[in-house]
Structure 1
Amino acid sequence: MVYTTRSARHRALFVGAVAVMGLLTACGNGKDVQSDPVTGSGTAAPATDGASSPGAASSTPSDAGSGSAPGVSSSAPVATRSGDGSASSKDTAAASSRCHTSELRASVGRNDPGAGQENFPVVLTNKSGRTCTLRGYPGAAFVNGSGTQLGADPKRGSGAPATVTLKPGQSAWSGLTFSNPEVSGAKKATPAALLVTPPNERDHLKVTWSGGPVPVSGNSSSVTLTVVSPGTAP
């Protein structure tokens, strides 16, 4: 048995007590101990108006814009974010120069049929007093007299979108094409009007339809639209 003197035991107890007090002082009661704030970088997705799902809003927008007539999907423009979080000057300029629905007049040109296909130019004319631009696909929908859509949504035809600059009085056109239902055997209907929505706009223009029956379901009932091009016809 190892014998320890009383003074040695007192010194050991004193050292232990000091160590415990130091530990308690360092830890505190949890209220006075704070860690430095942690920061992280991230990119906020552009806000949407509900037309797209949150997942779609965070994706890179296409420059092939579309209109949004009833029953036709639309894609509103989204500014590309620069490094400082502000909209780039290029996208800001494009948005400010875009032709709005209220500045345009819509019409349907003469049919140019061929090989069982009906081909109508849908024309948008700048009726405002300023120069503006169009780019991409318009929206369109055939409707009956009560405004109900006839047939499926038009599909996008092939083509590379290009910006069309319209001075006051100038026009751009998009090709509206479908198979003649008398030839294809598709179920047909005769619309009362065609609703046309300019690219990247939400309001539509109503044009009286005088082009005869259109396919609404069944075989070869697809209707296609092309990107806008300068002029009033091919």
Structure 2
Amino acid sequence: MAYSSRSARRGALLAGAIAVLGLLSSCGSQHDQAGPAKTDSGTAAPATETSKDSSPGAGTAASTPAGPASSAAARSSGSSDAGSGTGTGTGTGGKTGATSTRCHTSELGASVGRNDPGAGQENFPVVLTNKSGRTCTLRGYPGAAFVSASGSQLGPDPRRESGSPVTITLKPGQSAWAGLTFSNPEISEAKTATPAALLVTPPDERDQLKVAWTAGAVPVSGNSSSVSLTVLRPGSGV
């Protein structure tokens, strides 16, 4: 009886030990399985996001905004266009040709100076004076015609005497003159008329200046009726 009780107690103790060992083994297995799974799920996602952020292909492109770069390019292009525009503008200004320095009729005043007779000739200086505020030039022969009070021309146009034209620069107030010459009608016995005015046309102009004529009769036809003009020269002919 005593032996049987000991054997039963030993068997019970052994069974309990085996049960405890089995329980401990089961808990250890569950701890081993749950621990690694928890560690993997906790570190995998941040590692993946870090990898994406540091990726040259994705992270760099995503972190670089496209708008400012496009705006800078547009500004650069605009600056280039503005420069070209300015150049063009500056170029357009250079294309304007040199301003003519010729004296225009509207800038001149005309007068007839005092007669300086000699050798049967009547000699009058026809004077053109720069009345503008700028410097201008005259070159060549003026035009001239005697006219009646009604405006009709008396006699032919004066002929031009030979001469070498020069460019005359007139500052404001300065003058140039051409000699108007004809034979004394009392000597030449030419047919005469008394003009009311002398019309003077500056070189290369079409508009005329009208000067009252107060020097009496002039030849208009017949013998020795020719009237002549000289080339313009600096001064007033006095």
Q: Do they superpose with TM above 0.5? A: yes
1:192 aligned residue: 196
TM-score normalized by structure 1?
Answer: 0.60
1:18 aligned residue: none
Q: Secondary structure of the equivalent of 1:96?
A: coil
Counterpart CA distance in 1 for 2:209 and 2:151 is 13
User: 1 or 2 for the larger relative contact order (CA 8 Å, sep ≥6)?
Assistant: 1
Unaligned runs of 5+ in 1: 1-91
In structure 2, give the amino acid aligned to 1:172: A
1:217 Cα shift? 0.1
Q: Aligned to 2:145, which of 127, 141, 146?
A: 141
Deviations 1:86-114 (A, max 9, x none): xxxxxx65x70000000000000000000
2:46 aligned residue: none
In structure 1, give the amino acid aligned to 2:237: A
1:211 Cα shift? 1.2
Q: Aligned to 2:175, which of 158, 171, 174?
A: 171
Deviations 1:25-57 (A, max 9, x none): xxxxxxxxxxxxxxxxxxxxxxxxxxxxxxxxx
Q: Secondary structure of the equivalent of 2:100?
A: helix
Q: Secondary structure of the equivalent of 2:122?
A: strand
Counterpart CA distance in 1 for 2:234 and 2:186 is 32
TM-score normalized by structure 2?
Answer: 0.59
Q: Secondary structure of the equivalent of 2:186?
A: helix
What is the RMSD computed on CA atoms of the aligned residues?
1.1
1:107 aligned residue: 111
1:129 aligned residue: 133
Unaligned runs of 5+ in 2: 1-96
**Structure 1 runs of 4+ off > 6 angstroms?**
none
Task: Give matches, 1:1-234, under 5 Å.
Answer: 93=98, 96-233=100-237
In structure 2, give the amino acid aligned to 1:107: S
In structure 2, give the amino acid aligned to 1:136: G
Q: Secondary structure of the equivalent of 1:195?
A: strand
Counterpart CA distance in 2 for 1:134 and 1:215 is 28
1:158 Cα shift? 1.3
Counterpart CA distance in 2 for 1:191 and 1:180 is 15
Identity of aligned pairs, percent? 80
In structure 2, give the amino acid aligned to 1:174: A
Counterpart CA distance in 1 for 2:148 and 2:120 is 24
More helix by share: 2
Q: Secondary structure of the equivalent of 1:122?
A: strand
